[in-house]
Amino acid sequence: MSELIDSLTQAVRSAPEAVPLRLHLAELLLADGQRDRAFAELGQVLAQDPQNARALELLGVGLASPGAADAPGAADQADPVPAGPASADPAQTAPGAPAAADPATAEPAAATDPAAAASPAPPAAGTDGIDWTRLEEEVGVEIAPPFVGRSGDADDPKEHIRIPTAGEGEVPENEEAPPEPDVTLADIGGLDHVKDRLRVAFLEPMRNPEIAKVFSKGLRGGLLLYGPPGTGKTFIARAVAGELGARFFTATMADILNSFIGDSEKAVRAIFGYARRHAPCVLFLDELDAIGGRRSGFGAHASWMRSVVNQLLVEMDGVGSDNDGVFILAATNHPWDVDEALMRPGRFDRVVLVPAPDAPARAAILQLSLEGRPIAGIDLDDLVRRTEGYSGADLTHLVSTAAEKAMTESIASGEIRPVDMNDLHAALEEVKPSIGPWMQAARNVVNFSNEDGRWDDLRTYLEAEKKRKK
């Protein structure tokens, strides 16, 4: 059997696109008890054809075989199988995705997501012989004689660093806890309607756990913040954590997605395990549409992303997912691109619109941006009137542009000249509101995708903006 596997491995190396040959190699590996390599071969087939019935059947056979659950090192000791983007460590940014490698030239071991497997089938009997003439005709290559001994597989020298995944509630001594934010909603100027909505829908039930338990409400929650880019959604999330007196832990697309099959799902699991060990805490998922997009929108080139979304669904509200004390917040500019299952009750069932800052908020942002700079004769009320429709990021950029003009003249004259209204008026000619494209996309969603009334808050906001501009 060993010689047959070695010979077939060489054939696969010569013709990596030959799916029948790779499936036959996977069948032999399963019969020989080499599940890790068999899973890797099947992962390569499923990366090309996610609906391949024979690959799914063999994957079910491998998972159902005795010892499949406790095979030593099946997912940790062997080399991962390169595929589409995925991340191993939520605490680190993954490097650029390497090119996909053929498992016939390295010893892979990452198994594809068991959720994608078909119903377990009876174990298939191993084949004791190979019709080499038929295989040569199918592949179109001349298969070299088998090697004696090791096939030359090399171990990957790289070690993948992951967040420790100790048992739930156990915090390893060397694991650093996420920090507790020192900001609250009181530090946010204006946006009173947003803060009131947060208090009613999220904060007050969490602050009164005894009353919440009387009404059988668990100490968990999921809230999605959405709105134009640059409106301070991340800052609001930190303020919510500060209001709850909880630690704040953020995870982005770079913390989750990596270049090896199965590692993205492991990263999602590790992130939630880390949050549970440090409860109470706020877990903030930034740019949710990038990691929780609609599964129906992923084509064959990104089919692996469906497993990532599936794992996110399981961790948020699946069997055995105990998230008491973990308050899950997320932010996105395009909530209409988020998978429907994430928006159902039990996950992100509370959605809050964070619009462009109103007048009190703009005044607070401008004043904060001007602090620490030499200024003279600033008419804050005039600036607030002139910056209607600007996002928080736009306002910060406006002040920075004005400061650059005063700094340029100060360098030329050799004397410090403070920032004045002339600088800010000149900056207003250069810096324009950046939320226009988002507003147009939001109008399309409200006009054509609001049959269920989900975006009524957005409709009200857009109608108010339209009246204001008239």
Q: What residues contact 297, with CB distance under 8 A and at least 6 apart?
A: 337
Are residues 269 and 127 located together in one domain of the fold?
A: no
Per-residue model confidence as pLDDT tens digits over 296-330: 777 666 777 888 899 898 888 866 667 777 888 89
The per-residue pLDDT for 166 is 33
Question: pTM above the 0.75 mark?
Answer: no
Are residues 282 and 405 located together in one domain of the fold?
A: no
Per-residue model confidence as pLDDT tens digits over 32-47: 888 888 888 887 887 7
Within 13 Å, how many C-alpha atoms sit on residue 34's CB side?
20
pLDDT higher than threshold 70 for residue 446:
yes
CA distance 43 to 84: 11
Instruction: Tell me whether residue 164 is in a domain.
Output: no
Domain-ending residue, one of 353, 373, 404: 353
Structural contact between residues 180 and 248, judged by C-beta atoms closer than 8 angstroms: yes
Instruction: Tell me whether residue 334 is in a domain.
Output: yes
Domain-ending residue, one of 101, 132, 147: 147
Are residues 236 and 266 located together in one domain of the fold?
A: yes
CATH code for the domain of 307: 3.40.50.300
Per-residue model confidence as pLDDT tens digits over 156-214: 333 322 333 333 344 454 556 666 667 888 878 777 888 887 787 778 877 787 887 78
pLDDT confidence band for 434 (50 / 70 / 90) = very high
The per-residue pLDDT for 105 is 44
Are residues 255 and 133 located together in one domain of the fold?
A: no
Per-residue model confidence as pLDDT tens digits over 4-20: 788 778 777 777 778 88
Per-residue model confidence as pLDDT tens digits over 414-427: 999 999 999 999 99
CATH code for the domain of 422: 1.10.8.60
User: Alpha helices of 292-391 — where are they, by DSSP H?
Assistant: 304-317, 359-370, 380-386
Instruction: Tell me whether residue 162 is in a domain.
Output: no
Domain of residue 195: give its range.
Answer: 185-353
Are residues 412 and 366 located together in one domain of the fold?
A: yes
Per-residue model confidence as pLDDT tens digits over 328-376: 889 999 999 999 888 887 788 788 899 999 898 899 899 989 988 999 9
Are residues 212 and 258 located together in one domain of the fold?
A: yes
Instruction: Tell me whether residue 174 is in a domain.
Output: no
Domain-ending residue, one of 327, 353, 379: 353
Across the range 90-94, mean pLDDT stands at 42
Are residues 349 and 204 located together in one domain of the fold?
A: yes
The per-residue pLDDT for 159 is 32
Instruction: Tell me whether residue 211 is in a domain.
Output: yes
Q: How many domains does the chain have?
A: 4
- Pull the structure tokens for residue 246: 């909880």
pLDDT confidence band for 63 (50 / 70 / 90) = confident
Instruction: Tell me whether residue 157 is in a domain.
Output: no
